[in-house]
Amino acid sequence: MDKHIKIVLLLLLANICISAEIPTSARSEKAIRTVKAELVAQLKRVGLEYGSPIYIRIFKKSSELELWVKRREAYELFKTYEICAYSGSLGPKTKEGDNQAPEGFYFVKPGNLNPWSSYHLSFNLGYPNHYERQHGYTGSALMVHGRCLSIGCYAMTDRFINEIYAMAQGAFESGQPFFRVHAFPFRLERGVLEKYKSNRWYSFWQNLKEGYDLFAKHKVPPDVNAKNGRYVFSAGN
Protein backbone atom coordinates (compact mmCIF):
# COMPACT_ATOMS: atom_id res chain seq x y z
CA MET A 1 0.00 0.00 0.00
CA ASP A 2 1.24 3.49 -0.87
CA LYS A 3 2.74 5.11 2.25
CA HIS A 4 0.67 8.29 1.95
CA ILE A 5 -2.59 6.36 1.52
CA LYS A 6 -1.74 4.30 4.58
CA ILE A 7 -1.16 7.45 6.65
CA VAL A 8 -4.50 8.93 5.53
CA LEU A 9 -6.33 5.71 6.41
CA LEU A 10 -4.72 5.59 9.85
CA LEU A 11 -5.73 9.21 10.51
CA LEU A 12 -9.29 8.50 9.41
CA LEU A 13 -9.43 5.45 11.67
CA ALA A 14 -8.11 7.49 14.60
CA ASN A 15 -10.78 10.16 14.03
CA ILE A 16 -13.51 7.49 13.89
CA CYS A 17 -12.29 6.04 17.20
CA ILE A 18 -12.20 9.46 18.86
CA SER A 19 -15.68 10.34 17.57
CA ALA A 20 -17.02 7.07 18.95
CA GLU A 21 -15.75 8.04 22.41
CA ILE A 22 -17.44 11.47 22.51
CA PRO A 23 -20.60 11.27 24.63
CA THR A 24 -23.60 13.18 23.32
CA SER A 25 -27.16 13.83 24.35
CA ALA A 26 -30.17 15.63 22.93
CA ARG A 27 -29.33 18.49 25.31
CA SER A 28 -25.73 18.86 24.17
CA GLU A 29 -26.67 18.55 20.49
CA LYS A 30 -29.30 21.28 20.88
CA ALA A 31 -26.88 23.51 22.81
CA ILE A 32 -24.22 23.16 20.12
CA ARG A 33 -26.73 23.93 17.37
CA THR A 34 -27.69 27.19 19.10
CA VAL A 35 -24.14 28.56 19.14
CA LYS A 36 -22.15 26.83 16.39
CA ALA A 37 -23.03 29.09 13.44
CA GLU A 38 -22.12 32.24 15.35
CA LEU A 39 -18.91 30.67 16.67
CA VAL A 40 -17.88 29.68 13.14
CA ALA A 41 -18.49 33.25 11.96
CA GLN A 42 -16.61 34.80 14.90
CA LEU A 43 -13.66 32.49 14.41
CA LYS A 44 -13.53 33.21 10.69
CA ARG A 45 -13.42 36.96 11.34
CA VAL A 46 -10.16 36.54 13.28
CA GLY A 47 -8.62 33.94 11.00
CA LEU A 48 -9.37 30.88 13.15
CA GLU A 49 -11.33 27.71 12.42
CA TYR A 50 -13.99 25.77 14.27
CA GLY A 51 -12.62 22.33 15.10
CA SER A 52 -9.04 23.52 15.64
CA PRO A 53 -7.28 22.40 18.84
CA ILE A 54 -8.18 24.42 21.93
CA TYR A 55 -6.54 25.32 25.24
CA ILE A 56 -8.14 26.84 28.34
CA ARG A 57 -6.67 29.04 31.09
CA ILE A 58 -8.56 29.88 34.27
CA PHE A 59 -7.76 32.79 36.60
CA LYS A 60 -9.47 32.50 39.95
CA LYS A 61 -9.02 35.99 41.43
CA SER A 62 -10.33 37.82 38.35
CA SER A 63 -12.98 35.14 37.59
CA GLU A 64 -11.84 34.72 33.99
CA LEU A 65 -11.76 31.72 31.67
CA GLU A 66 -9.69 32.16 28.51
CA LEU A 67 -10.36 30.07 25.42
CA TRP A 68 -7.35 29.78 23.10
CA VAL A 69 -7.46 28.28 19.60
CA LYS A 70 -4.53 26.90 17.63
CA ARG A 71 -3.50 28.49 14.35
CA ARG A 72 -0.49 26.96 12.63
CA GLU A 73 2.08 26.24 15.35
CA ALA A 74 0.81 28.50 18.16
CA TYR A 75 -2.35 29.29 20.08
CA GLU A 76 -4.24 32.57 19.89
CA LEU A 77 -6.68 33.99 22.42
CA PHE A 78 -10.19 33.73 21.01
CA LYS A 79 -12.46 34.72 23.91
CA THR A 80 -12.37 35.55 27.60
CA TYR A 81 -15.45 34.48 29.55
CA GLU A 82 -16.51 35.65 32.99
CA ILE A 83 -16.66 32.81 35.50
CA CYS A 84 -20.06 33.10 37.11
CA ALA A 85 -19.09 31.48 40.41
CA TYR A 86 -16.39 29.44 42.13
CA SER A 87 -16.14 28.39 45.74
CA GLY A 88 -13.34 28.70 48.26
CA SER A 89 -10.42 31.10 48.20
CA LEU A 90 -7.03 31.44 46.53
CA GLY A 91 -5.00 28.24 46.80
CA PRO A 92 -5.33 24.65 45.57
CA LYS A 93 -7.88 22.04 46.48
CA THR A 94 -6.32 19.56 48.91
CA LYS A 95 -9.09 17.40 50.34
CA GLU A 96 -12.62 16.19 49.81
CA GLY A 97 -15.13 18.62 51.26
CA ASP A 98 -12.89 21.70 51.49
CA ASN A 99 -15.06 23.40 48.83
CA GLN A 100 -11.95 24.68 47.08
CA ALA A 101 -11.88 25.09 43.30
CA PRO A 102 -8.64 23.46 42.07
CA GLU A 103 -5.49 25.16 40.83
CA GLY A 104 -3.03 23.28 38.66
CA PHE A 105 -2.52 21.60 35.30
CA TYR A 106 -5.19 19.31 33.91
CA PHE A 107 -6.15 17.66 30.64
CA VAL A 108 -9.63 16.84 29.41
CA LYS A 109 -10.33 13.82 27.20
CA PRO A 110 -13.55 13.13 25.24
CA GLY A 111 -14.82 10.88 28.02
CA ASN A 112 -14.58 13.80 30.47
CA LEU A 113 -17.48 15.54 28.73
CA ASN A 114 -20.82 15.19 30.50
CA PRO A 115 -23.77 16.07 28.24
CA TRP A 116 -26.22 14.83 30.91
CA SER A 117 -24.88 17.03 33.71
CA SER A 118 -27.14 18.19 36.54
CA TYR A 119 -25.53 21.58 35.86
CA HIS A 120 -26.64 21.81 32.20
CA LEU A 121 -23.35 20.75 30.52
CA SER A 122 -19.97 20.06 32.06
CA PHE A 123 -16.52 18.59 31.66
CA ASN A 124 -14.40 16.98 34.36
CA LEU A 125 -10.96 18.53 34.92
CA GLY A 126 -9.44 15.24 36.02
CA TYR A 127 -8.64 16.20 39.61
CA PRO A 128 -6.63 14.80 41.32
CA ASN A 129 -3.84 14.87 38.76
CA HIS A 130 -0.47 13.13 39.14
CA TYR A 131 0.99 15.96 41.24
CA GLU A 132 -2.04 16.01 43.53
CA ARG A 133 -1.97 12.24 43.99
CA GLN A 134 1.70 12.49 45.00
CA HIS A 135 0.62 14.89 47.76
CA GLY A 136 -2.27 12.71 48.87
CA TYR A 137 -4.90 15.28 47.91
CA THR A 138 -8.44 13.94 47.76
CA GLY A 139 -11.63 14.89 45.92
CA SER A 140 -13.39 14.06 42.70
CA ALA A 141 -15.79 15.35 40.04
CA LEU A 142 -14.24 18.81 39.83
CA MET A 143 -15.90 20.40 36.82
CA VAL A 144 -16.35 23.39 34.61
CA HIS A 145 -20.13 23.52 34.20
CA GLY A 146 -23.23 25.65 33.70
CA ARG A 147 -26.07 26.75 35.98
CA CYS A 148 -23.98 29.52 37.62
CA LEU A 149 -23.73 27.56 40.89
CA SER A 150 -20.51 26.16 42.38
CA ILE A 151 -19.40 23.86 45.18
CA GLY A 152 -15.71 23.36 44.39
CA CYS A 153 -16.14 23.80 40.63
CA TYR A 154 -15.91 26.62 38.11
CA ALA A 155 -19.45 27.59 37.11
CA MET A 156 -20.40 29.45 33.95
CA THR A 157 -23.66 30.78 32.60
CA ASP A 158 -25.43 28.28 30.38
CA ARG A 159 -24.77 30.45 27.33
CA PHE A 160 -21.04 30.50 28.01
CA ILE A 161 -20.76 26.78 28.75
CA ASN A 162 -22.67 26.09 25.51
CA GLU A 163 -19.94 27.89 23.56
CA ILE A 164 -17.03 26.33 25.46
CA TYR A 165 -18.58 22.86 25.23
CA ALA A 166 -19.20 23.29 21.49
CA MET A 167 -15.59 24.31 20.91
CA ALA A 168 -14.38 21.31 22.93
CA GLN A 169 -16.57 18.84 21.07
CA GLY A 170 -15.60 20.37 17.73
CA ALA A 171 -11.91 19.98 18.57
CA PHE A 172 -12.42 16.36 19.62
CA GLU A 173 -14.38 15.57 16.45
CA SER A 174 -11.48 16.97 14.40
CA GLY A 175 -9.00 14.72 16.14
CA GLN A 176 -7.63 16.55 19.17
CA PRO A 177 -7.13 13.70 21.67
CA PHE A 178 -7.34 15.96 24.75
CA PHE A 179 -7.18 19.63 25.61
CA ARG A 180 -5.30 21.22 28.47
CA VAL A 181 -6.85 23.33 31.22
CA HIS A 182 -4.43 25.35 33.35
CA ALA A 183 -6.01 26.88 36.45
CA PHE A 184 -4.13 29.69 38.21
CA PRO A 185 -4.89 31.81 41.28
CA PHE A 186 -4.20 35.00 39.28
CA ARG A 187 -1.95 36.13 36.45
CA LEU A 188 1.48 35.00 37.60
CA GLU A 189 3.50 38.00 36.53
CA ARG A 190 6.55 38.58 38.71
CA GLY A 191 5.37 41.90 40.15
CA VAL A 192 2.00 40.41 41.06
CA LEU A 193 3.33 37.19 42.57
CA GLU A 194 5.82 39.02 44.79
CA LYS A 195 2.90 40.57 46.67
CA TYR A 196 2.04 37.10 47.98
CA LYS A 197 5.42 36.19 49.52
CA SER A 198 3.87 35.71 52.94
CA ASN A 199 1.08 33.47 51.63
CA ARG A 200 1.34 29.78 52.56
CA TRP A 201 0.96 28.87 48.88
CA TYR A 202 3.71 31.16 47.58
CA SER A 203 6.17 28.33 46.74
CA PHE A 204 3.36 26.36 45.08
CA TRP A 205 2.50 29.37 42.94
CA GLN A 206 6.17 29.82 42.05
CA ASN A 207 6.06 26.26 40.69
CA LEU A 208 2.89 27.05 38.70
CA LYS A 209 4.65 30.13 37.32
CA GLU A 210 7.22 27.94 35.56
CA GLY A 211 4.46 26.51 33.36
CA TYR A 212 2.79 29.90 33.05
CA ASP A 213 6.03 31.44 31.77
CA LEU A 214 6.65 28.64 29.24
CA PHE A 215 3.28 29.30 27.65
CA ALA A 216 3.92 33.06 27.65
CA LYS A 217 7.18 32.43 25.79
CA HIS A 218 6.06 29.88 23.19
CA LYS A 219 2.24 30.32 23.03
CA VAL A 220 2.01 26.53 23.16
CA PRO A 221 0.85 24.81 26.37
CA PRO A 222 3.82 23.06 27.98
CA ASP A 223 3.99 19.34 28.61
CA VAL A 224 3.47 18.79 32.32
CA ASN A 225 4.50 16.00 34.66
CA ALA A 226 5.18 15.64 38.37
CA LYS A 227 8.34 14.47 40.09
CA ASN A 228 9.23 14.48 43.78
CA GLY A 229 6.17 16.51 44.63
CA ARG A 230 6.73 19.27 42.09
CA TYR A 231 5.40 20.06 38.66
CA VAL A 232 8.02 19.68 35.95
CA PHE A 233 7.65 21.19 32.51
CA SER A 234 9.01 20.94 29.00
CA ALA A 235 8.13 22.91 25.88
CA GLY A 236 4.94 21.57 24.30
CA ASN A 237 4.41 20.52 20.68
Compute the C-alpha angle 218/221/226, nearest 5°: 120
Tell me if the bond preceding 128 is cis, omega within 30° of 0: yes
Task: Verify whether residue 84 is a known catalytic residue.
Answer: no
- Tell which residue, 212, 158, 154, 143, has the closest CA to residue 35: 158
Rounded to whole angstroms, the maximal C-alpha distance in the chain is: 64
> What does each C-alpha distance from 7 to 23, 172, 174, 185, 186 come to in angstroms?
27, 19, 16, 42, 43
Catalytic residue among 84, 120, 153, 182: 153
Tell how strand 179-184 and strand 85-86 pair up: unpaired
Has 153 been annotated as catalytic? yes
Active-site pick, 4, 17, 84, 145: 145
Taking CA atoms, 199 is separated from 90, 103, 187, 194, in Å, by 10, 15, 16, 10
Task: Collapse the DSSP code of 137 into the 3-class scheme (helix H, G, I; strand E, B; otherwise coil) and give the result.
Answer: coil
**Which stretches of 20-73 are assigned E, i.e. beta strand?**
54-59, 64-71
> Among 156, 134, 160, which residue's Cα sits nearest to residue 143?
156
User: Which residues carry out catalysis?
Assistant: 145, 153
